[in-house]
């Protein structure tokens, strides 16, 4: 376990980690729980496929659009209060989707996406502030993201069937997880009033991009996110086109998330022990290359190996990208600002991945060129990650010309 800051007992540290994990578990189910219920949702509301698809697209776009708001909120009210506010906003978004008008279904999805965008940025910054060695806690946080996503996808429909409830109530069940996270967060993390405005560097978030180090961190997160969302959207279809049974394709996608959770747990913990993280970048890049090349050359043979390799790549890659934001930042609010910029750019770029891959597949009537494009995209990812993983941190004053050595 990472060491907490001075003045906190071992029990207090464990409770704080549990609160962080509880918040992380809430950052995906409200989004991914929609997909298993789309058939019932469309039958009840009469929505077209395109409009129904927006319910899963809107939150991802919100992840990018609202990410830059998080550092400003943290500066105004403190990190702890801002995280608590994100959970309240998430609960409100989930509750709105319980109401009948279809417009409120979209409003709830937008609120939930905005809430998750705030927590996406704020939690790594909070970990940066509270733990002298944040790697292990970032691993637990990243693994909880994967577990929450898997739970939302796998449990929503079975819970609805077991409780004999409709799709609205099934979506609303995740409200209990959000409220539970809030109940655990508030007494452990506090209100943050004493820290409001602390460690505030001069300048704005986007001015960080004047530094090559910040640009590399942002590019690594963006390229990794493109890979994840593009493959996750089309993997079952790709495998089905190669002759793999449709049900097996969905199971393999779920397996990749489980494998990804293990990678997400281990990569940040290891990163926190290293002065530079270039060996980990090399592992992520190699795993992507193996997984994508296998799906290109032999999708129906050795499928389990290729999917697991991709799972390792996406789980450890995303976790490493978040950890690099923390490790390359000198203060928690610089971490929040860098995270806001990186996730804004990353998620907005990532949203184009599934569309581009689908369009290329339709144009070429196959998966060869889409997979070659993803393989080619591994090269700029490696370049960005190699620079982002060097032993350096950004200057506290964003107007300073160069990063400084982390050692």
**φ, ψ for residue 340, nearest 5 deg:** -60, -45
Tell me the β-bridge partners of 4: 131
The whole-model pTM stands at 0.80
Q: Which domains does the chain have, with CATH numbers?
A: 10-195 (1.20.1250.20), 206-405 (1.20.1250.20)
Instruction: Answer positive or negative: Cα dihedral of 39, 41, 43, 48.
Output: negative
| pLDDT for residue 115 | 95
Closest CA to 22 of 178, 171, 172: 178
| pLDDT for residue 45 | 86
| pLDDT for residue 273 | 84
**Structural tokens at position 49:** 């496929």
| pLDDT for residue 199 | 44
| pLDDT for residue 108 | 93
Start-end of H helices in 97-166: 102-130, 135-163
| pLDDT for residue 102 | 87
- Cα 37 to Cα 353: distance, rounded to the nearest angstrom: 23
- Cα 79 to Cα 113: distance, rounded to the nearest angstrom: 19
Residue 379: enclosing H or E segment and its boundaries? helix 368-388
- Cα 283 to Cα 378: distance, rounded to the nearest angstrom: 12
User: Over the Cα atoms of the chain, what is R_g?
Assistant: 20
| pLDDT for residue 397 | 59
Are 214 and 329 within 8 A, CB to CB? no
| pLDDT for residue 265 | 86
| pLDDT for residue 148 | 86
In a 3-state reduction of DSSP, which class is residue 42? helix
Per-residue pLDDT of the chain (407 residues; tens, 9 = 90+): 555 555 677 888 888 999 999 999 999 888 888 877 777 888 888 877 667 777 777 888 888 888 888 888 888 888 889 999 999 999 999 999 988 888 899 999 999 999 999 999 899 889 888 888 888 888 889 889 888 887 887 788 888 888 988 889 999 999 999 999 999 998 877 644 445 444 444 445 778 888 999 999 999 999 998 888 888 777 777 888 888 776 676 677 778 878 888 888 888 888 888 888 999 999 999 999 999 999 999 888 888 899 999 999 999 998 999 899 989 988 888 888 888 889 888 888 887 787 788 888 888 888 899 999 999 999 999 999 999 999 888 886 555 555 555 54
Closest CA to 369 of 381, 358, 379: 358
| Cβ within 8 Å of residue 162, ≥6 positions away | none
| Cβ within 8 Å of residue 63, ≥6 positions away | 113, 116, 117, 120, 343, 347
DSSP state of 5: P
| HSE, side-chain direction, 13 A CA sphere, residue 247 | 0
Q: Concatenated DSSP letters for 278-292?
A: HHHHHHHHHHHHHHH
């Amino acid at each position: 376990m990472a060491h907490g800051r001075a003045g906190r007992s071992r029990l207090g540290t464990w409770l704080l980690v549990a609160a962080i994990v509880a918040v992380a578990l809430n950052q995906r189910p409200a989004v991914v729980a929609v997909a298993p219920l789309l058939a019932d949702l469309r039958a009840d509301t009469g929505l077209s496929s395109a409009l129904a698809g927006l319910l899963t697209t809107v939150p991802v776009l919100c992840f990018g659009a609202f990410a830059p708001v998080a550092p400003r909120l943290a500066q105004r009210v403190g990190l702890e209060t801002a995280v608590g506010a994100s959970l309240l906003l998430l609960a409100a978004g989930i509750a709105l989707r319980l109401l009948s008008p279809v417009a409120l279904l979209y409003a709830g999805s937008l609120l939930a996406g905005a809430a998750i965008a705030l927590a996406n940025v704020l939690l790594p910054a909070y970990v940066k502030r509270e733990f002298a060695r944040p790697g292990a806690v970032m691993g637990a946080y990243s693994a909880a993201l994967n577990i929450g996503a898997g739970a939302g996808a796998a449990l929503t429909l079975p819970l609805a069937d077991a409780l004999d409830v409709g799709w609205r109530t099934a979506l609303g069940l995740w409200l209990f997880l959000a409220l539970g996270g809030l109940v655990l967060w508030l007494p452990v993390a506090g209100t943050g009033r004493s820290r409001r405005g602390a460690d505030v560097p001069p300048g704005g978030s986007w001015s960080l991009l004047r530094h090559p180090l910040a640009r590399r961190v942002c590019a690594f997160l963006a390229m990794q996110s493109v890979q994840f969302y593009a493959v996750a959207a089309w993997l079952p279809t790709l495998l089905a086109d190669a002759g793999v049974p449709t049900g097996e394709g969905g199971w393999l996608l779920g397996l990749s998330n489980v494998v990804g959770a293990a990678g997400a747990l281990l990569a940040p913990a290891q990163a926190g022990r290293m002065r530079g993280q270039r060996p980990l970048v090399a592992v992520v890049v190699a795993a992507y290359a193996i997984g994508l090349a296998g799906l290109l050359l032999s999708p129906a043979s050795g499928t389990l190996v290729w999917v697991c390799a991709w799972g390792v790549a996406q789980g450890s890659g995303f976790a490493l990208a978040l950890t690099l934001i923390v490790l390359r930042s000198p203060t928690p609010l610089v971490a929040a600002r860098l995270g806001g910029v990186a996730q804004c750019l990353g998620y907005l770029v990532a949203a184009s991945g599934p569309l581009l891959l689908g369009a290329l597949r339709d144009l070429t009537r196959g998966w060869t060129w889409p997979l070659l494009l993803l393989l080619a995209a591994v090269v700029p990812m490696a370049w960005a990650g190699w620079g982002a993983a060097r032993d350096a941190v950004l200057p506290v004053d964003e107007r300073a010309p160069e990063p400084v050595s982390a050692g």
